[in-house]
Amino acid sequence: MSVAWGVEVDRAGETGAVAEARPAAAGLWRVDLVFYQAAVTLPGWLAERYEIEPESAGVFCDPMPCAPVLDDLRRAVGLHTLEAVDVAAASAQFKTAVKSRTVTAGEHPALEQAVTYALQRSLATAFAYERRKVAADMSPLNAAAFALWGLRQHGESDPGAWVI
């Protein structure tokens, strides 16, 4: 079973969030916030988790908010950094998955609060989740969106024509 992790650091650069996405039954997805602690401890914690599941799709983050731990993350895990178009795609796909009920999420107060206060901001002709003008830390929501996007993009291998 494939797994992907989405990572985001709060605006102050102090708290890190890691969401884990996995396939569930029949085209459904499961997302859990598995880390919500001091950002400086995030790379080490994630490196341990990454070693346990070497067949993972990887770790996905927007490099700007993760700047305080970005170098350490790059050394610790197979890191995929998202570009603006990827952030927009992750946000839109996560919103669609929630509305269509194809993703479920484990209970976590920080994720619940982020979803409650989520606002969209323009990102070119698309949107992303607002990080600054909201009453809650959006890092859990972004981490969840990035994990699901990463799993959908890189989690399932295409066997191609060479598999017999």
Domain count, the chain: 1
Q: For residue 159, is pLDDT > 50?
A: no
Of the two residues 122 and 63, the one the predictor is more confident about is: 63
Asked whether residue 164 is domain-assigned, the answer is no
Percent of the chain with pLDDT over 90: 51
> Helix or strand or coil: residue 11?
coil
**pLDDT for position 27:** 81
Matching residue, tokens 């919500």? 36
**CA atoms of 17 and 71, how far apart (whole Å):** 17
Mean pLDDT (whole number) for 23-42: 92
Q: Pull the structure tokens for residue 79.
A: 């890191």
Asked whether residue 80 is domain-assigned, the answer is yes
CATH classification of the domain holding 123: 3.30.420.240
- Domain residues for the domain of 82 are 4-154
pLDDT in tens, 66-119: 999 999 999 999 899 999 889 888 988 988 898 899 998 889 988 787 767 665
**pLDDT for position 85:** 87
Asked whether residue 159 is domain-assigned, the answer is no
Asked whether residue 150 is domain-assigned, the answer is yes
Asked whether residue 113 is domain-assigned, the answer is yes
pTM, entire model:
0.86
**pLDDT for position 95:** 85
**pLDDT for position 162:** 34
**CA atoms of 144 and 150, how far apart (whole Å):** 10
The full DSSP string for 131-145 is SSSSSS--HHHHHHH
**CA atoms of 68 and 121, how far apart (whole Å):** 23
8 Å CB contact between 126 and 88: yes
Q: For residue 49, is pLDDT > 80?
A: yes
Asked whether residue 161 is domain-assigned, the answer is no
